[in-house]
């Protein structure tokens, strides 16, 4: 084969392979197509899930639950008593909320949520878990050294505040109800929803601004 032909073949080879999906992408494509043929999944359902969780859902639902708890004492009482039933009132049950338990931050308690085994997370409320939540570093250190992890996120917890660490499982998942920021007395539920950050509901944020737009 001449040099010219070698170059041409290499170019064609590159051209062909440049649009070949990565190995994991190929495997997922293979899995999905087989599951669709077996009637176990529907392509539209998968596409809709991906679209919703990539862009739409995020932590907005969880933020609304928190804001409602801040403004409606009766709802807060129901949320603390039975989280699953309370979020059902807002039609948020589903997609891995499992049994939901709300845990409240106070002046003397700070709550932090982790899944030490894998990445269990109430994603119907909070969207897909952030990447750090899924790391081995967070999963192990959140239990061993929660104050150190919180410092890494810029949250310094005074020695007289107790840090409680909750381990999410497939059956039971936690939602941190942060303290309502000072200076927000005049805000309604919708405005308050915009203040609550995703990390505050996991516990890696504690004092957030009364003017921030947390869930965007």
Partner 1 sequence: MSPSETDALKPLKKMDAEPVFEELWQAQVLAIADAMVNAGTFKAAAWSKTLGRELKAAEAAGADDTAQTYYKAALRALEGLLAQSDAVPFATLEARREAWKQAYLATPHGSPVDLANAVSRAD
The nearest distance, CB 149 to partner 1, in angstroms, is 7
The nearest distance, CB 207 to partner 1, in angstroms, is 16
Nearer to partner 1, 79 or 114 (CB): 114
H or E segment at 29?
Answer: helix 23-37
| Beta carbons of 128 and 112 less than 8 angstroms apart | no
| Interface segment toward partner 1; rule CB under 8 A; list 70-78, 106-114, 146-154, 175-183 | 146-154
Q: State the Cα–Cα distance between residues 203 and 150, nearest whole angstrom.
A: 8
The answer to the question of residue 29 lying near partner 1 (CB under 8 A) is yes
Cα torsion for 196, 92, 86, 138, to the nearest 10°?
A: -50
* Position among 80, 82, 119, 157 found at the interface with partner 1 (CB under 8 A): 119
The answer to the question of residue 154 lying near partner 1 (CB under 8 A) is yes
* Position among 84, 95, 179, 184 found at the interface with partner 1 (CB under 8 A): 95
Structure tokens at 193: 């929803």
The nearest distance, CB 118 to partner 1, in angstroms, is 4
The nearest distance, CB 169 to partner 1, in angstroms, is 7
Catalytic residue among 33, 54, 118, 140: 118
| Interface segment toward partner 1; rule CB under 8 A; list 3-11, 78-86, 165-173, 181-189 | 165-173
List the one residue out of 141, 100, 150 whose CA is nearest residue 124. Answer: 100
| Beta carbons of 160 and 166 less than 8 angstroms apart | no
The nearest distance, CB 74 to partner 1, in angstroms, is 31
DSSP assignment letter at 212: -
Q: State the Cα–Cα distance between residues 131 and 167, nearest whole angstrom.
A: 17
Q: State the Cα–Cα distance between residues 180 and 186, nearest whole angstrom.
A: 12
Sign of CA dihedral 113, 119, 120, 122: positive
Q: Which 193-212 residues touch partner 1, going by CB under 8 A?
A: 199
| Interface segment toward partner 1; rule CB under 8 A; list 66-74, 100-108, 144-152, 178-186 | 144-152
List the one residue out of 177, 48, 19 whose CA is nearest residue 110. Answer: 177
* Position among 82, 84, 93, 128 found at the interface with partner 1 (CB under 8 A): 128
The residues that are catalytic are 115, 118-120
């Amino acid at each position: 084969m001449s040099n010219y032909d070698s170059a041409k073949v290499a170019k064609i080879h590159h051209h062909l392979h440049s649009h070949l999906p990565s190995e994991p992408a190929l495997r997922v494509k293979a899995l999905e197509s087989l599951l669709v043929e077996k009637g176990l999944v529907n392509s539209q359902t998968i596409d809709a899930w991906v679209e919703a969780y990539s862009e739409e859902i995020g932590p907005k639902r969880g933020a609304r639950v928190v804001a409602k708890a801040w403004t409606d004492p009766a709802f807060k009482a129901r949320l603390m008593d039975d989280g699953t039933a309370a979020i059902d009132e807002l039609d948020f049950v589903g997609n891995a909320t499992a049994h939901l338990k709300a845990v409240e931050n106070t002046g003397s308690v700070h709550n932090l949520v982790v899944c030490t085994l894998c990445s269990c997370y109430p994603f119907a409320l909070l969207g897909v878990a952030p990447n750090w939540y899924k790391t081995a570093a967070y999963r192990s250190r959140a239990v061993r050294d929660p104050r150190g992890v919180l410092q890494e996120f810029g949250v310094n917890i005074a020695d007289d505040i107790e840090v409680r660490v909750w381990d999410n499982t497939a059956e039971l998942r936690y939602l941190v109800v942060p303290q309502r920021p000072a200076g927000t007395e005049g805000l309604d539920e919708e405005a308050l929803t915009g203040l609550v950050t995703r990390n505050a509901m996991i516990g890696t944020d504690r004092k957030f601004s009364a003017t921030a737009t947390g869930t965007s």
